[in-house]
């Protein structure tokens, strides 16, 4: 089984990989809330995604499973 999600044309889903990377950075204490949102807003080559699409998800992570972190 492939560990990465693939798009219909079998290429790696870059948006999914970015989401996973941001969660891991938050969990390990590598970035704070502001830095995570800055990383989430960076443009992904070849994709047309709203820049603030992950902001709500980051807030949910920090109020739920990662709320014990002092960010």
Q: What is the pLDDT of residue 1?
A: 43
Rounded to an integer, what distance in angstroms lies between the CA atom of residue 46 and that of residue 57?
22
CA 29 to chain CA mean position, Å:
14
Domain segments of the chain as ranges: 14-63
Q: What is the pLDDT of residue 53?
A: 85
Tell me how many degrees the CA angle 4-33-47 measures, rounded to the nearest 5. Answer: 40
Tell me how many degrees the CA angle 23-63-4 measures, rounded to the nearest 5. Answer: 20
Q: What is the pLDDT of residue 71?
A: 53
Q: What is the pLDDT of residue 10?
A: 66
Per-residue tens of pLDDT for the chain, all 71 residues? 455 666 677 667 788 888 999 999 999 988 999 999 999 988 877 777 777 888 999 999 888 878 776 55
Beta bridge partners of residue 6, listed in sequence order: 12
């Amino acid at each position: 089984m492939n560990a990465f999600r693939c798009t219909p044309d079998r290429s790696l889903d870059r948006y999914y990989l970015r989401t996973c990377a941001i969660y891991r950075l938050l969990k390990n204490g590598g970035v704070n809330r502001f830095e995570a949102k800055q990383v989430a807003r960076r443009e992904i080559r070849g994709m047309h995604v709203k820049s603030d699409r992950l902001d709500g998800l980051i807030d949910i992570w920090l109020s739920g499973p990662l709320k014990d972190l002092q960010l």
